[in-house]
Chains A and B, each alone.
Chain A
Amino acid sequence: MGNGMAENVFPVPGVENIPGVYQNRMKTAQKNTSVITVTVKYLSVLRDKTGIRQEEVSLSEKSVLGDVADFVHRKYKVPDPLIMFVLNGRGWNQHPDRLATTLKNGDTILIFPPVSGG
């Protein structure tokens, strides 16, 4: 992935786990370009990895769902096969463009371990 993700989106080592740092840095870096903000919610066991329940993530316009997957993977070291992405209520693989689905301002992305009955 990586197409559409703005430059300088990842904070320097040591501050990546401080909520808000990424967002502020992003806004500063991109103040002269179009930026969208999406809500990312970390559900269930994922919260153990992130330490936060949800965050607002700012991205450059035309970013895609895969960019958020990439962001989460890099920021929180969550292995891809163990997480599921839901964009605006539908699984990533139910969108025609799947992880290449273009995001828009205000989108909500749920991230959680795959569910199974019990």
Chain B
Amino acid sequence: MAGMFLEICKRLQHPDTKYSDKFNMEELMEAFKGAYMGKVLRVDLSSKKHSVENLNEEEVKLLLGGRGLAAKKYYDEISPDVDPLGPENKVFFMTGPLTGVKLPSTTKFQLSTKSPETGMYLCSNCGGDFGPQLKRSGFDGMIIEGKAPDWIYLTIKDGEVVFGDASSWKGLDSNATLQKLREAIGEKRAGLMSIGPAAERLVRISYINVDTRAFGRGGPGAVLGSKKLKGIAVKGTNVIPVADEDRVLRIWKEAVKDLRTSRANHTKYGTAQYIEAINEFGCMPTNNFQTTYFENAHLVDAHTMKEKYYVKNYHCFNCPVGCGMVCEVKDGPFKGARARTEYETIGMLGPDCGVDDFGAIVAGNDLCDSLGIDTISGGNAVALIMELYERGLITKEDTEGIEAKFGSGTAMVELIRLIGERRGIGDLIAEGMKGVLAKKPEWSPYILAVKGMPFAAYDPRGFYGNALTYGTSNRGACHNVGGWTIRAELQSGAYDRFALKGKGLLVKTIQDNRAYVDSLGICTVVRGSMSFSDNPQGDVLEAVTGYDFTSKLLEIGSRVYTLERLILNREGIRRENDILPERILKEAVPSGPIKGQVLTEDMYREMLDEYYNERGWDSDGVVLDETVNRARLNEILT
């Protein structure tokens, strides 16, 4: 094995070698006894042709899969001058080694593309059936490039790619498009992804609907819209090989048993269980982050949801938890609205818009799904309009007659429609926060975003680590990629939530942890059952792949994060882009449990310095050469 590996390394060093198409796949994949299919599908929409490429062993060993490999593809193929909505932009979908394997919630796959919302690198992860089906179809990943002359869809059945005419589907909502795709591929159970009318109109906060889950943030739907790709259906019947079937079965049984107790609350209430707690901690965004406590949170919390709106649980692929809560409005003005309403959506469409009607939140969520809009960015966008309206900076003329006041559920829903249909003020807001700031810099005090991506449903004045999370997340203000610090800051005992010291290392560790989990192909909700923590244990990866990554996982996560920052540096991102918006750094919290709390710019910059130091970046946020080498990225980057 060692001899073969050395031989491969020698070949890799040859300047003329394009290893992806010259190496013998069987030889390359000898290192792995399972998990990988060894192939990546490349689809050119312009020529309506496709090709198949080999997976590279060296990259797999260093980057694992999923987010890591998707970032590497982006690094290799997307130059800084690429227009996110131009034909030269590409979408890289990558599964991880665990995607589709018979283990809990091995549902995840990853996307990278240039974001229409932020104008820079975007990574996103998603559940549903698509990732597992893509892998069973014979591919670890899929690259979409070019631009179709007219609306099309793709079907992929056990590796066979067919281009279909979707011209008659134009204008269909994203869920109806999923149904069309199901009929087109002729399979009851298939992986499906679609875009809605908002993406067709290039709304920069539009998402990709994947089996009713979503690649939500950053506007990837608009990228597919710009390519006139309405959807993709995939079906696979191949068996995903694993190195040791008996061990995998044992791990599956133990993990499921663990999850029945450790995640019982997720099964019962989903992520909505956190609404009440986050509000009581004093970090619930309220009225466009003007304050951090919502008086009527009990009207939109998990108990209200369960008692009045809950219909059933939704389970992603192989998931025994089923944290998706399908909700339906049974009476009132929003009767019939149906959506899977979770924490972030409730927070942004509810308290952040001042809305205490759970039925309106479900209706807003339902409309976001129909139009194909990210509920987090959508909620921020509506809240911004409401604040502008209440301050008299826009009028009913801009809102097409909508009384856009905080607290109005009807207004919230109609403003979503205004954005999705690019009408009135919605046309400007549909350009995303970056686009809005470019045209209306004077609205900066009311925009809560970093690098163009709006905040998630946590006010960072409530947990200072969360401030660093938003500032340093590799895709803009995101609580997942950036690192969800609340558990550590509240429960671990190691950190005071309002302290500065230590937050740099904390945030880095959580980010690295998340980066490797995103590269594995499993859901973060179940990772604990398989010991994928910041001190990873167990034999899951060895049992699945035949190669023991476990002790290297955190190192891999750090490598992925560093690679992503290298991309951002190349795209011009520096320290000033990591600074939080002025509302957070200048305004004290005016009410609620943390009334008076202040996070000044000096305090924030102190945390940032510590973080850069832990990362091995210079004081301007640029990755140092020695950090690149220490991460062994010099071995795979050209």
A residues apposed to B, CB below 8 Å = 41, 43-45, 47, 53, 84, 86, 89-91, 93-94, 98, 108, 110, 112-118
Contact = CB atoms under 8 A, between A and B. Distances in A.
A8 B143 CA distance: 70
A117 B493 contact: no
Given A110-B277, A112-B277, A44 B491 contact: no
Contact of B273 (A45, A86, A91, A110): A45
B593 A89 contact: yes
Interface stretch (B158-166, B446-454, B480-488, B579-587): B480-488
B493 A45 contact: no
Given A44-B277, A91-B491, A93-B492, A118 B265 contact: no
B406 interface: no
Contacts of A110: 277, 280-281
A117 B480 contact: yes
Interface residues of B, number: 34
A117 B273 CA distance: 11
14 contacts: A43-B276, A44-B274, A44-B277, A45-B265, A91-B491, A93-B491, A98-B493, A112-B276, A115-B274, A115-B277, A115-B486, A117-B486, A118-B266, A118-B323
A52 to B, nearest CB: 12
B278 to A, nearest CB: 8
Contact of A44 (B302, B479, B487): B302
B588 interface: no
A99 B490 CA distance: 15
Interface string B291-310: 00000001000110000000
Contacts of A90: 490, 496-497
A84 B491 contact: yes
B525 A114 contact: no
Contacts of A53: 298
Interface in B264-297: 265-266, 268-269, 271, 273-274, 276-277, 280-282
A74 B225 CA distance: 59
Contacts of A86: 281, 490
A114 B277 contact: no
A114 B489 CA distance: 12
Contact of B594 (A41, A43, A89, A116): A89
B528 interface: yes
A90 B496 CA distance: 7
A114 B491 contact: yes
B530 to A, nearest CB: 14
B524 interface: yes
B372 to A, nearest CB: 23
The 10 tightest CB contacts between A and B, nearest first, are A93-B493, A117-B484, A44-B273, A118-B525, A43-B277, A43-B276, A45-B265, A118-B271, A91-B490, A112-B277
Contacts of B266: 118
B528 A116 contact: yes
Given A43-B276, A44-B273, A44-B276, A115 B490 contact: yes
A41 B528 CA distance: 28
Contacts of A44: 265, 269, 273-274, 276-277, 302
Given A44-B269, A44-B302, A117-B487, 18 more contacts: A44-B276, A45-B265, A86-B490, A89-B281, A89-B594, A90-B496, A93-B493, A94-B493, A94-B496, A110-B277, A112-B277, A115-B490, A116-B525, A117-B486, A117-B524, A118-B266, A118-B323, A118-B343
